[in-house]
Chain A
Amino acid sequence: MKEVTKLIHKYLRHDKKFPHVSCPGCGNGIILGALIRAIDRIGFAKDEIVLISGIGCSGRMPVYVDFNTLHTTHGRALTFATGIKLAKPELTVIVFMGDGDATAIGGNHFIHAARRNVDVSAIIFNNNIYGMTGGQFSPTTPYGMKATTAPYWHIEHAFKIAELAVTAGAVFVGRETVYNAKGLDALIEKALLKKGFSVVETITHCHIQYGRYNRLGTAVDMLKWQRDNSIPVEKAQKLSSEELEGKIITGVLVDRELPIYQHEYDRIRERAREIAV
């Protein structure tokens, strides 16, 4: 067994929960693998981690790993996470969400979690579609593309998830593709170590739904597309918005310090006690 496989097996419920439900060629496994490698490098104990998900293909991921795991309702993973972090601040709380999960039904929770700056890491699987329910358009399906609910073309415009998180106040925001798996695990590692609300938008491919309706080829073709259309943020800063049209800006978009919810909460209590005395 290769070292990397051994490492991943250390964290998987491989004797219980497999085979998994992802389609052959899916990018979700790469994201889960990246998370495991990041956690292993940091050296977190399994029981220090709570991995929470909502609904959709991303929602299944916590089922497969040997952390504390919660498979919650559609769009609400961040609200469960907020409760856990406030009750047990010593736990490392990580949330997996899909694009529909995080920015449609859970869009409100997403922007408010970022604004509130609770110390939680959100890893978003953006595959531009609702994959599990059969390929309906999501808030990140680009204008003009097809889906089962947009048989000709999609007439709405897509959210840019990472930029949305920056605007909403997240202290750490990054974006990476599953093609660049090593870059992805480095980015997740940074996000996990950052205190405050951190977001990693992962661009992944759904060749079965999104790819098929839009004739984007196989999983490999879609991975190559990610490779050919990614621009590191440092380079992107020197390019015009026309040159960046349709490109994936990767890397750390923002890394800043803002007051963290729990710390602010503790300060208030301290102050209130002083006054009471």
Chain B
Amino acid sequence: MKKVLTGNQAVAHGVLLSRAEVISAYPITPQTTIVENLAELCADGILEAKFLRVESEHSALASIIGASMVGARTFTATSSQGLALMHEMLHWAAGSRLPIVMANVNRALGAPWNIWNDQTDSLSQRDTGWIQLYCENNQEVLDTVIQAYMIAEEVYIPVMVVLDAFFLSHTSEPVEIPEGGEVDKFLPKYHARYKCDVNDPHSFNLMVSPEYYQEFRYKIQYAMEEAKKVAKRVDDLFAKSFGRGYGPIEGHLCDDAEVILVTTGTVTSTSRGTIARMRERGVKVGLLKIKMFRPFPREEVKEALRGAQKVAVIDRNISFGCGGIFGHEIKATLCDEEKRPQVFDFVTGLGGRDVTPSLITEIIEYTCQNERPEGEIIWAGMRG
């Protein structure tokens, strides 16, 4: 069934089809309509889940950590300051190896206040042990939520599904909604391998001495590496069942490209059109969309960029004192390649500033015309 849905409605539909059992959240713009939708679905009994509206984002994640520890399929959603407030619990969820799924609507962090699109909120949580999947459109949002549960419940690593503020969260698009029965076949009921259970008691998260702690960390990293394979398998299975697949990355016109543009989120859609027009003008440019940021799909990225002379990364984020976060991941990934393309890292679109086709054209032209970038960061779309 096809319906016109906003990104936030697509998240709610994904959660409904995945039959989450406990949902907990706190209002924050622009995430709020996700939980409003879910609150209504729960109250109407369409989704047989317990809905909890707690007193802060920290409590939202803490309460679903509790629910997940007794074996429930859980969900929360947040954005920006809310995600920052969850920081302690993000580590706790991953360390507890709980297959929680959350949606984060990418919004700029304060100060100063800003409610618009920017990726720094989720990217700055990159070391918390969560899988992070960035979506390009509302269809991908819905499909990714369903896939996220399957990945999380196989590797016992929580998953963050990320969508752009307003460009997706509040923008309506036609979305194919899979039939509930089909999703049930794809994603069976969750049975926790370990849980708090009176008939089979366990202790969780007690103090671990230096003799053991490091191995717990090793196991998370091991599970992250496994998650790459699992995500690929889940995506293939999803494509077989529903006819749509995404992959951890997507290369578009990369084979003969001299310059490859690297994008995430909605900038990818804008770039598709720009690249088509530049190809018509004879510019040999390709596009690499990165969907999976953690675990970082190193091998796939290397493979896709092999053969390119230059790589232009669009970073709608910044790690102060360092540079664009995707840019640095790409540079680190390419460092042991025999023949390395020159990486140009463009920081732009912060706090909701538009990344327009003409700006993307400028970025590609700059990359074509210059041997090397003028610095670690090239600030694009600055006020004059």
Contact = CB atoms under 8 A, between A and B. Distances in A.
Interface of A: 71, 73-75, 100, 104-105, 107, 130, 132-134, 136-137, 139, 148-152
A6 B110 CA distance: 35
B29 A132 contact: yes
B124 interface: no
Given A73-B81, A74-B81, A134 B56 contact: no
B255 interface: no
B39 A130 contact: no
A74 B79 CA distance: 13
10 shortest interchain CB distances as A-B pairs: A104-B55, A133-B27, A105-B56, A149-B39, A136-B27, A148-B36, A149-B53, A133-B32, A151-B43, A151-B40
Nearest to B39: A149
Interface of B: 26-29, 32-33, 35-36, 39-40, 43-44, 51, 53, 55-56, 81, 110, 113
Contacts of B33: 134
Contacts of B40: 148, 151
Nearest to B35: A149
Nearest to A135: B36
Nearest to A59: B113
A226 B343 CA distance: 64
7 contacts: A133-B27, A134-B27, A134-B32, A134-B33, A136-B35, A139-B55, A149-B53
A107 B32 CA distance: 21
Nearest to B84: A73
Q: Is the interface of A mostly helix, strand, loop or mixed?
A: loop
Nearest to A132: B29
B57 to A, nearest CB: 8
B169 to A, nearest CB: 13
A43 B207 CA distance: 58
B36 A75 contact: no
A104 B110 contact: no
Contacts of A152: 43
Nearest to B51: A149
B39 A104 contact: no
Contact of B55 (A71, A73, A107, A133): A107
Nearest to B82: A74
A73 B53 CA distance: 19
Contacts of A74: 28, 56, 81
A149 B39 CA distance: 5
B29 A133 contact: yes
**Which of A71, A148, A152 has the most CB atoms of chain B within a 10 A radius of its CB?**
A148
Given A105-B26, A151-B39, A73 B110 contact: yes
Nearest to B36: A148
A56 to B, nearest CB: 9
Contacts of B44: 151
Contacts of A150: 39, 43, 53
A115 B102 CA distance: 36
**Which of B27, B29, B32 has the most CB atoms of chain A within a 10 A radius of its CB?**
B27
Given A74-B56, A105-B26, 6 more contacts: A74-B28, A132-B29, A134-B32, A139-B55, A151-B40, A152-B43
A148 B28 CA distance: 13
**Which of A137, A148, A149, A152 has the most CB atoms of chain B within a 10 A radius of its CB?**
A149
A158 to B, nearest CB: 13
A130 B55 CA distance: 12
B364 to A, nearest CB: 39
A136 B28 CA distance: 10
A34 to B, nearest CB: 25
B58 to A, nearest CB: 8
Contacts of A75: 56
**Which of B33, B51, B56, B110 has the most CB atoms of chain A within a 10 A radius of its CB?**
B56
B249 to A, nearest CB: 35
B39 A133 contact: no
A233 to B, nearest CB: 28
B22 to A, nearest CB: 15
A100 B51 CA distance: 18
A130 B27 contact: yes
B53 A137 contact: yes
Nearest to B31: A133
Contacts of A134: 27, 32-33, 36
A139 B53 CA distance: 10
A136 B51 CA distance: 13
Nearest to B29: A133
B55 A136 contact: no
Contacts of B27: 100, 130, 133-134, 136, 149
A149 B25 CA distance: 10
Contacts of A104: 26, 55-56
B186 to A, nearest CB: 29
B55 A148 contact: no
Contacts of B35: 136, 149
A229 B257 CA distance: 73
A214 to B, nearest CB: 16
Contact of B39 (A132, A139, A148): A148
Nearest to A130: B27
Nearest to A149: B39
A105 B57 CA distance: 8
Contacts of A137: 53
Contacts of A105: 26, 55-56
Contacts of B113: 71
A142 to B, nearest CB: 15
A136 B53 contact: yes
B302 to A, nearest CB: 41
A130 B56 CA distance: 13
B28 A133 contact: yes
Contacts of B56: 74-75, 104-105
Contacts of A71: 113
A100 B54 CA distance: 11
Contacts of B43: 150-152
A137 B52 CA distance: 11
Contacts of A149: 27, 35-36, 39, 51, 53
